[in-house]
């Protein structure tokens, strides 16, 4: 399947790609502002990504984190464009070494290839001189970094947003850190949030604030039920409903159970 959707938000362009069109969990948007590319899309969508990238010159390629839907074409783009992608420091070794992904992720995104990156440059900017400020936002992944463009009021959010209401968590995600990262980003001024799964979100600051509020409520509710002696399974059923296909197919790597478990551990 080729490009599924095309975005134009002022000077921001994007394409949504994905092998399966089951919603935001199986598709990905590569964004571009002028000659700056943000993330690279999943490895099995290389032909569509290459066609998009070939439309105009690319000066710099910024990665938000190492996950294969974001960095999966970085190695090919590096060769194709003759440039070295920039990546947040905590993910660079993993990107260079390569890493294995679970079978469901391989089916949806393909297999990532190792890639050499360079650290994020000091004083990153668009070609018109507008600053691009990297904001370290761990939680979803140790290396997750958002890119804030204060002059335009944009936030390229990597996987910090995804949804106002989270229903799943990966087994390696840290919810307390994620909530701290949301607070950190909410101290910034922006309006348009560019989520590579959900799409562009107008009123993005409010949407992120809603996400933090909803997570806080979930933690409160889960911990209240636990204090009444309810089991983890009973809390799951009461607050999120039973596990569904994503939980089962991912062998609970991406599951509601992970979210409840973390919600019980967050110190409020």
The residue (of 113 and 130) whose beta carbon lies closer to Zn ion is 113
- Contact between residue 170 and residue 251 where contact means Cβ atoms under 8 Å apart: no
Residue 16 as a binder of Zn ion (CB under 5 A): the answer is: no
Q: How far is the CA of 180 from the CAs of 17, 195, 209, 220, in angstroms?
A: 31, 19, 12, 16
Integer Cα distance of 25 and 2 in angstroms: 17
The residue (of 226 and 246) whose beta carbon lies closer to Zn ion is 246
The residue (of 126 and 143) whose beta carbon lies closer to Zn ion is 143
Helices (H), 154-200: 175-186
The residue (of 101 and 192) whose beta carbon lies closer to Zn ion is 101
Q: Which of residues 61-90 bind Zn ion (CB under 5 A)?
A: 67
DSSP state of 141: S
Shortest gap between Cβ of 45 and Zn ion (angstroms)? 16
Nearest residue (beta carbon) to Zn ion: 67
DSSP H or E run through 249 = helix 245-249
Residue 39 as a binder of Zn ion (CB under 5 A): the answer is: no
The residue (of 113 and 125) whose beta carbon lies closer to Zn ion is 113
What lies within 8 Å, CB to CB, of 96 at 6+ separation is 114, 115, 116, 117
Integer Cα distance of 147 and 125 in angstroms: 10
Shortest gap between Cβ of 229 and Zn ion (angstroms)? 35
Q: Residues binding Zn ion: what is the number (CB under 5 A)?
A: 2
> Which part of the chain contacts Zn ion (CB under 5 A), choosing from 59-67, 146-154, 221-229, 251-259?
59-67
Residue 159 as a binder of Zn ion (CB under 5 A): the answer is: yes
DSSP state of 125: B
The residues that touch Zn ion, with contacts defined as CB under 5 A, are 67, 159
């Amino acid at each position: 399947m080729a490009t599924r959707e095309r975005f134009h938000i002022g000077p921001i362009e994007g394409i949504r790609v994905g092998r399966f069109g089951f919603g935001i969990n199986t598709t990905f948007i590569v964004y571009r502002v002028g000659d700056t590319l943000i993330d690279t899309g999943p490895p099995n969508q290389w032909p569509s990504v290459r066609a998009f990238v070939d439309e105009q010159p690319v000066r710099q390629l910024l990665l938000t984190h190492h996950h294969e839907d974001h960095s999966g074409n970085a190695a090919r783009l590096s060769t194709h464009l003759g440039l070295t992608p920039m990546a947040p420091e905590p993910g660079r070794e993993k990107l260079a070494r390569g890493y294995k992904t679970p079978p469901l992720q391989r089916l949806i995104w393909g297999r990532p290839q190792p890639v050499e990156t360079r650290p994020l440059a000091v004083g990153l900017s668009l070609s018109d001189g507008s600053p691009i400020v990297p904001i370290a936002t761990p939680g979803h992944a140790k290396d997750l970094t958002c890119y804030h463009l204060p002059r335009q009021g944009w936030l390229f959010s990597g996987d910090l947003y995804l949804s106002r209401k989270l229903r799943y968590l990966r087994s390696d995600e840290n919810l307390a850190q994620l909530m701290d990262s949301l607070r950190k980003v909410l101290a910034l001024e922006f309006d348009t949030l560019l989520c590579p799964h959900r799409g562009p979100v107008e009123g993005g600051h409010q949407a992120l604030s809603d996400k933090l509020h909803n997570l806080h409520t979930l933690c409160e509710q889960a911990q209240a039920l636990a204090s009444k002696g309810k089991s983890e399974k009973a809390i799951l059923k009461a607050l999120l409903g039973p596990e569904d296909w994503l939980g089962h197919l991912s062998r609970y790597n991406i599951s509601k159970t992970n979210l409840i478990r973390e919600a019980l551990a967050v110190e409020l």
